[in-house]
Amino acid sequence: MGVALSLLFLSVAWARRRCSSSSPQLLRQLQSQANITGNTGSLLEPYIRLLNLDEPTLRGTCTKHPVAFPNEVALRQLSKPRFLSTVYTTLDRVWHQLGALKQQFPDSKDFPELEIARLNIQGIKNNVYCVAQLLHHPLEIPEPTQADSGASRSTTTTPDAFQTRIGSCRFLWGYHCFMGSVGRVFSEWGDGSRRSRRHSPLRTRRKGARRIRPSRSGQSPMPRAQVPRQPEAH
């Protein structure tokens, strides 16, 4: 957990700073963060090995039916304000669901990559917030409802342990795919090749929407996402 603790201390230290005034710098950081977190080695692969799912049929079950995330085609159709808000909102949901996933691991030392991933998400969210501020596009999302507030959902039936593991595996695969798409979109922003509609001004705030405030970890740009070291082969 040394890397996770180091990131936590950095988050506290940088919370006292303001957002960077360099849009290119923030975009480079976001592209790098998205590409790293889109790598399955940062979260999915350790999960598969830890829960003995490293078998072709089980892997196929995970990757053929991922949990739904905004796909790349849909992301490319969004204006810059809506794209930033979608990334921020989706990452907020992922952060809460990774917190729920921790219940499968009473001892955090068994799966340290999980907490590292949550810290990295906070860093990405803060950089998204800063980019939105530089582009004068305040983040907006619908008010949370009971269905999507991130709270635990009660169900009439409780899935068995195996189905829970497969469901979590699909969720992690979907998350990695989503972040890979986000990284590719941000790379085009940096190249200045985005379509003109991405430069459209933010429209009037919709009724029932609220403005996003930075998370308690601060508004400042965060360091690149950290990839935990892979275990040595025996």
pLDDT tens digits for range 179-231: 999 999 999 886 654 443 444 333 434 444 455 555 544 444 444 455 444 44
Q: Does residue 153 or residue 20 have the better pLDDT?
A: 20
| Per-residue model confidence (pLDDT) at position 46 | 95
**Which of 15-19, 20-24, 163-167, 187-191 bottoms out in mean pLDDT, i.e. has the lowest?**
15-19
Nearest to 43 by CA among 85, 90, 97, 2: 97
Determine what percent of the chain falls in helix, strand and coil, rounding each to the nearest 5. 60, 5, 40
163 against 67, higher pLDDT? 163
In one-letter notation, the amino acid at residue 135 is L
pLDDT of residue 87: 96
**How many other CB atoms sit within 10 Å of the CB of residue 216?**
10
Q: At CA 43, angle to CA 121 and CA 96, rounded to 5?
A: 45
The CA distance from 32 to 200, in Å, is: 25
At 199 the pLDDT is 43
- CATH architecture group of domain 21-145+157-211: Up-down Bundle (1.20)
In this predicted model, what pLDDT tens digit does every residue of 137-157 receive, in sequence order? 888 765 554 434 333 443 445
Token pair in block for residue 73: 């085609």
The total number of residues shown for the chain amounts to 234
